[in-house]
A and B are shown apart, each in its own frame.
Chain A
Amino acid sequence: DAKTTQPPSMDCAEGRAANLPCNHSTISGNEYVYWYRQIHSQGPQYIIHGLKNNETNEMASLIITEDRKSSTLILPHATLRDTAVYYCIVRITDSWGKFQFGAGTQVVVTP
């Protein structure tokens, strides 16, 4: 199973871009990279996912390296409401439905 490594915490100034790194060096060719976030006391919220190509939606951008061993989630203009724990997850293809959540990165956006 591909595992992910994320920094435990990071700070970001309001209005600036937040770049959240994730290492997944053992990822298989058909495994997706997902990002979720969890705002305090709430259920996790889907942000974005991708396989090989970079992806963008209204919330964020996902940059995946060519070798797929790492990725970066970009929040283009962080707001105070983006303060949350961000989880990088590699989808386990042999056990459908199962997402393995690690400890994530605690992001604190400051004024």
Chain B
Amino acid sequence: NAGVTQTPKFRVLKTGQSMTLLCAQDMNHEYMYWYRQDPGMGLRLIHYSVGEGTTAKGEVPDGYNVSRLKKQNFLLGLESAAPSQTSVYFCASSSQGAGSETQYFGPGTRLLVL
């Protein structure tokens, strides 16, 4: 049981390049989330998904797209990377969305956009 895994662990992009971050969970969780964390700050929610085939915007969705084609995977895409997207990206999953539930986080992906 690996929990939540993220690939890649680290990536350097040039401005304007595109990339996809992959999040996978093996806990059969319905809910999945993408956060970003900038230096010295807390996490901010980018997008989330309440089930396979569904996605929704979080606090800071601009410049990102997501897809949840399979229940266990949640992809975060950057179509045209910008230096402002330099950050650490965390994926999380949970078994239910409302009330008392726990989110489990992945180890993070460090992205540097030059």
Binding site for B on A (CB under 8 A): 32, 41-46, 49, 51, 87, 91, 93, 96-104
List residues of chain B with CB under 8 Å of any chain A CB: 4, 31, 33, 35, 40-45, 48, 50, 58, 90, 92, 94, 97-100, 102-108
With contact pairs A43-B107, A44-B105 given, residues A98 and B45 touching in the complex (Cβ less than 8 Å): yes
Give the residues in chain B near A87, CB-CB below 8 Å: 42
A101: contacting residue among B42, B50, B94, B104, CB under 8 A: B42
Contact of B48 with A97 in the complex, beta carbons under 8 Å = yes
For the complex of A and B, list the 7 residue pairs with the smallest distance between their C-beta atoms, beginning with the closest. Answer: A96-B97, A43-B105, A101-B42, A101-B43, A97-B97, A96-B98, A46-B102
Using A49-B100, A87-B42, A104-B42 as known contacts, say yes or no to A97 and B105 having CB atoms under 8 A apart. no
Let me know if B103 and A51 touch, CB within 8 A: no
How distant is the Cα of A87 from the Cα of B103 in the complex, in angstroms? 13
Specify the main secondary structure of chain A where it touches its partner.
loop
Pairwise interchain contact A93-B105, C-beta atoms closer than 8 A: no
| Cβ–Cβ < 8 Å partners of A100 in chain B | 45
Knowing that A43-B92, A97-B31, A101-B44 touch, tell me 15 more A-B residue pairs with CB under 8 angstroms.
A43-B105, A46-B103, A46-B104, A49-B100, A87-B42, A93-B99, A96-B50, A96-B97, A96-B98, A97-B50, A98-B48, A99-B43, A99-B103, A102-B42, A104-B42
User: CB-CB < 8 A to B106: which residues of A?
Assistant: 43
Contact between chains at A93 and B98 (CB < 8 Å): yes
Between A and B, 12 residue pairs with Cβ closer than 8 Å are A42-B108, A43-B90, A43-B105, A43-B107, A44-B90, A91-B100, A97-B48, A97-B97, A97-B103, A98-B48, A99-B43, A101-B35
